[in-house]
Amino acid sequence: MNPPVAQQQVPVAPRFEDHVLEFLSYLEFEARCAENTLIAYRTDLMQFGCFLSSTGNDVLTVEKPQIVDYLESLAATGEIAGTTLHRKLSSLRSFYVYLRREGLVDTDPTADVKAPAQAKKLPAVLSRSEVSHLIDQVRGSDPIATRDRALLELMYASGLRVSEVIGLEVSDIDFEEGVLRARGKGKKERIVPVGRQALLSIRIYLRAGRRALTKDRPEKYLFVNFRGGQLTRQGLYKIVRKYAALAGFADRMSPHTLRHTFATHLLNGGCDLRSVQEMLGHADVSTTQTYTHLSTERLKDVYFDAHPRAVLHELR
């Protein structure tokens, strides 16, 4: 296999660049593509041009095996997401459709080519002590602090998606039953249990912090910003990233990490897969099964730490 394309600094052949410029002109003036689309096409194709130059191949004579080699070299870097890899293949396909239409190639080398399967990365999760350490970074009892503590407690207690958290309304919290109503993908509603600690934090936030932030103006959404309006996705990200940095988790945590942690801790605690699927709002249980791998790894760690004959000792 050829070396990863990302590491190559080989300039593209002039003829290749001419073909790309003509293709981009077609996209801009005839297909009326947006500027961001044009930039993406150019980036993808120039990267392919570097690969062609480094391997001595020509854009008009390259064949399917070289296309496969190119895609595999991208995947081998481990730095490109599966969706990006599919986009790059799509860019190549569109390019060769154009070249065939112009009569520059007889066959399409991208036909029947599939993007290499990407190894699924297990999501990062926090330990129980790390979750406590994260929430402990929220200090004070001012309105912002009470909001942030309630937000982190709720995200860990319920495993909601970011969009579901910011879409929560005050009326969605049922303190008597200890549950909330979440609005998931496709506007599907589900009921999710909420732990006592999260409910207590929300009560404190509603009683003191939220009223101060809204200045008693009517606002249906549970979490609000410093102006009293609905908290945005960007605002939530900033809050989580702030406390992740304070806790020392900035390089391995995002808001979604709390959702992963919620699911993994439930499975580690003995909760069944179907119940976790229901709470997460997954349409397919195979999506939830990602967390069983994390749970299994934890079980293996516990086993090898605890079992007296789990580790092979040298025979005497």
Judge whether 293 lies within some domain.
yes
DSSP 206: I
Residue in 185, 233, 274, 293 annotated catalytic? 185
Looking at the structure, tell me whether residues 268 and 176 fall in a common domain.
yes
Query: Residue 259 catalytic?
Result: yes
Q: What is the pLDDT of residue 78?
A: 66
Q: What is the pLDDT of residue 7?
A: 41
Q: Which of 283, 244, 276, 10 is nearest to 138 (CA)?
A: 244
Query: Residue 220 catalytic?
Result: no
Judge whether 225 lies within some domain.
yes
Q: Which of 131, 164, 100, 80 is nearest to 258 (CA)?
A: 131
Looking at the structure, tell me whether residues 64 and 16 fall in a common domain.
yes
Q: What is the pLDDT of residue 282?
A: 87
Residue in 149, 210, 259, 260 annotated catalytic? 259
Distance CA 178, CA 199 (A): 7
Q: What is the pLDDT of residue 173?
A: 97
Residue in 147, 161, 210, 265 annotated catalytic? 161
Q: What is the pLDDT along the chain (316 residues), one digit of tens a residue?
A: 444 444 445 567 778 999 999 999 999 999 999 999 999 999 999 999 999 999 999 999 999 999 999 998 888 776 677 788 899 999 999 999 999 999 999 999 999 998 876 655 667 889 999 999 999 999 999 999 999 999 999 999 999 999 999 999 999 999 999 999 999 877 789 999 999 999 999 999 999 899 999 998 999 999 999 999 999 999 999 999 999 999 999 888 989 999 999 999 998 888 888 999 999 998 888 778 877 766 665 556 656 666 666 655 544 4
Looking at the structure, tell me whether residues 257 and 172 fall in a common domain.
yes
Judge whether 316 lies within some domain.
no
Q: What is the pLDDT of residue 188?
A: 87
Looking at the structure, tell me whether residues 143 and 247 fall in a common domain.
yes
Q: What is the pLDDT of residue 307?
A: 62
If one counts every other C-beta atom within 10 angstroms of the C-beta of residue 35, the result is 8
Looking at the structure, tell me whether residues 59 and 165 fall in a common domain.
no
Residue in 133, 242, 256, 298 annotated catalytic? 256
Contacts of 61 (CB under 8 A, 6+ apart): none
Query: Residue 133 catalytic?
Result: no
Phi, psi of 137 (to 5 degrees): -75, -15
Are 42 and 24 contacting, i.e. CB atoms less than 8 angstroms apart?
Answer: yes
Query: Residue 307 catalytic?
Result: no
Are 160 and 259 contacting, i.e. CB atoms less than 8 angstroms apart?
Answer: yes
Looking at the structure, tell me whether residues 148 and 245 fall in a common domain.
yes
**Domain housing 261:** 128-305
Looking at the structure, tell me whether residues 156 and 233 fall in a common domain.
yes
Residue in 86, 133, 181, 282 annotated catalytic? 282
Judge whether 204 lies within some domain.
yes
Looking at the structure, tell me whether residues 55 and 158 fall in a common domain.
no
- Amino acid at the residue 175: F
Q: Which CATH number covers residue 22?
A: 1.10.150
| Domains of the chain: total | 2
Looking at the structure, tell me whether residues 137 and 221 fall in a common domain.
yes
Judge whether 121 lies within some domain.
no
Q: What is the pLDDT of residue 301?
A: 62
Query: Residue 196 catalytic?
Result: no
Structure tokens at 131: 């979750």
